[in-house]
Amino acid sequence: MSDAHSAVGSYVTDALSPIERAEFENHLAGCYRCRVEVAEYSETVAMLTPLVATSPPVSLRASVLAAIGAGQSFNPELVARSEEHANLIIEPDPTVVRPKVPATVTELRPLGPDEVTPLDEHPSVLPDSSWVGVAASLSDDLGGRRIRRTDRILVALVAAALVVALIFSGWVYVSWQQSQMQASETQQETELLTAPDVKIYPSTVNGAPVSWVVSKDRNQALFIANKLPDPPSDTAYQLWTFHGKTATPAGLIPEGGTIWKLIQIDDADRLSITPEPAPDGSTSPTRPALSEVSLP
């Protein structure tokens, strides 16, 4: 994989700096393979979003609808562009295959798990080009002052199509049974990393970079390390939570590889890591801390 290719995942997850992003977009323009991957990965990450779905404040709905309905935010430049777009659509593109869509929702049925198809294979609903054509020619007839209105008609048509496509794509999941409600460890890690009060404390253990990721609201912490040097012989790394001078064992860390240890902190004011006798560790720390973090 060339270096340019290798940024594709970071591009889709918006993890590039502006300069890196510009470089990748430059590459993307000439790389079909990357464009396919960007499209597929974009579908993929969008399908992860139920993991973080949160109802917005009720007032936001009215606010968004009012702002859109008022049309105050239509930018003349964008209006002009969508006008161009409309004219392009009038020329039917023979390469675009428009799949048939059931006429009514009642023709749909829940799909079995084996029938689940990726979102991008679902029949998409395109605004009928004749409608768009009508809207565009309306604007020719009515002149420049009506462009804004025409744009809104176009947008309404497209939006209606978007809604149908969305409802349709959601349908495949209907037969999926709701699985376990209990938060798995993965879910807990995700929750912790994205907790509103999360704090990350970078540190080192015997020269290796480590991070303490702490959420006091969730009363949890993650100890993250990669390739920790082996502890002194006959010892193992052990994590601790402190309440004042009282230490409570918070788990032993296996040797080698990537460490990703979730601990309950129970309102601790300090966390630390020490090497303790293997394999069972100690009931209170017997050596100086290799890394510790005070929690305010």
Which parts of 43-82 interact with other proteins (CB under 8 A)?
43-57, 60-61, 63-65, 67-69, 73-75, 78, 81-82
Report in angstroms how near the CB of residue 206 gets to other proteins at its nearest.
Answer: 12
Cβ contact 263:241 at 8 Å: yes
| Residues in a beta bridge with 236 | 276
Residue number with CB closer to other proteins (260 or 286): 260
- Residues 249 and 266: beta-carbon distance below 8 Å: no
Among 160, 232, 234, 280, binds other proteins (CB under 8 A): 160
Burial 34-47 (b: 16+ CB within 10 A, else e): beebbeeeeeeeee
* C-alpha–C-alpha distance, residues 52 and 62, integer Å: 22
Which residues have C-beta within 8 Å of that of residue 177, sequence separation ≥ 6? none
Q: Is residue 226 involved in binding other proteins (CB under 8 A)?
A: yes
Euclidean distance between CA atoms 266 and 92, whole angstroms: 64
Nearer to other proteins, 30 or 245 (CB): 30
Examine residue 9 and tell whether it contacts other proteins (CB under 8 A).
Answer: yes
Ranges within 253-282 binding other proteins (CB under 8 A): 258, 260
Residue 16 contacts other proteins per CB under 8 A:
yes
Alpha helices in 108-146 (DSSP H): 129-142
Binding flag, residue 15, other proteins (CB under 8 A): yes
Of 222 and 247, nearer to other proteins (C-beta) is 222
Amino acid letter, 33 = R
Q: Which residues contact 198 (CB under 8 A, 6 or more apart)?
A: 192, 213, 214, 215
- Residue 161 contacts other proteins per CB under 8 A: yes
Residue 13 interacts with other proteins (CB under 8 A): yes or no:
yes
Please report, as residue ranges, which positions from 71 to 130 form the binding site for other proteins (by CB under 8 A). Answer: 73-75, 78, 81-82, 85-86, 96, 116-120, 122, 124-127
Residue 2's CB: how many other CB atoms inside 10 A?
Answer: 9
- Which CB sits closer to other proteins, 29 or 53? 53
Query: Residue 200, SS3?
Result: strand
> Which of 135, 187, 192 lies closest to 158, judged by CA?
135
Q: Does residue 6 touch other proteins according to CB under 8 A?
A: yes
Tokens of 100: 């048939």
Query: Could you tell me how many residues of this chain bind other proteins (CB under 8 A)?
Result: 114
Candidates 139, 152, 238, 247: give the one binding other proteins (CB under 8 A): 152
Nearer to other proteins, 34 or 247 (CB): 34
Closest separation between CB of residue 275 and other proteins, Å? 19
Q: Is 217 exposed, middle or buried (0-12, 13-18, 19+ CB in 10 A)?
A: exposed
Q: Which is nearer to other proteins, 5 or 270 (CB)?
A: 5
What is the residue type of 158?
Answer: V
Query: Binding residue for other proteins (CB under 8 A) from 39, 80, 105, 142?
Result: 39
Q: What residue type is assigned to position 6 of the chain? A: S
Residues 166-185 that bind other proteins (CB under 8 A): 166-167, 169-170, 173-174, 176-181, 183-184
